[in-house]
Amino acid sequence: MKVALIAHKYYGDKDSTIKRTTQMIKEAASSGAQLVVLQEFHQGAYFCQDENVDKFDLAINYKEDKKYWSSVAKECNIVLVTSLFEKRTEGLYHNTAVVFDTDGREAGIYRKMHIPDDPNFYEKFYFTPGDLGFKPIDTSLGRIGVLVCWDQWYPEAARLMALNGAKMLIYPTAIGWFDSDDEATKSAQLEAWVAVQRGHAVANSLPVIAVNRVGFESDESGGGIRFWGNSFVFDAQGVELFRSNSTDEIVQIVDIDMQKCEQVRRWWPFLRDRRIEAYGDITKRFID
């Protein structure tokens, strides 16, 4: 499967950013991409750096936004993974990935389950945790497991997607450094982020795709996040097929051997040897 990773900076307003994203999608499609994965909140800024009730207005056009990306998927004849701010009803909002099939049909959605609350990542202020569970989305290219950003740190999420038949794991992402952090701290954070997701690929014998935004975005106090890029693809055995740098926008097509998953699971039968009768405590918060 030819998968395109598209990562870019914020272009100052929604219209300009959408125009840039659309250009990049068309470039990927013209180069043979079948599946295109966008970064978390690709339509605009990462708005969760502050707690501001006015920013809920960014979700008002959720239905119109879906119509637009549906038309792009259909025009380009691709399966398209988008990341949108969903207003479900008054006072109820989600961080939602929407997947469109090649005919523009909405194949399915995933509502982000794990919601962070850290400096400049005040997502609990904006988002209700997802209520759809860890269910893959069926597309004309197969069943894909879409998760979002903070979900990527949790092996339970990846495992449940795998147990539900996902053929790959996909993570639209917005993560970065603070400029005040020292280089050792930055390196440790980045490599931990890469390592845990590579582990999901190995433990589940599935390709893993992460697409992270780039560029500096300021907050209301004069600080901000420098998004660290490093979008990547690991195959079903944890082999690195692609990894970008920390600064450049990318339209990168990666050819993934989907048959390798079956072969790897024959060599390393992790699912066969799971001791499911002994895992009951995994649903507890902590074992005293």
User: Which residues belong to the active site?
Assistant: 40, 112, 149
Edge to edge, the sheet with strand 106-111 lists: 106-111, 92-100, 79-89, 35-38, 2-7, 250-255
281: burial class by Cβ within 10 Å (0-12, 13-18, 19+)?
A: exposed
Collapsed DSSP state (helix, strand, coil) of residue 232: strand
111 contacts: CB under 8 Å, gap ≥ 6: 86, 94, 95, 96, 97, 129, 130, 131, 132
**Distance in angstroms (rounded) separating the CA atoms of residues 46 and 222:** 15
Residue ranges in 39-115 assigned as alpha helix (H): 62-76
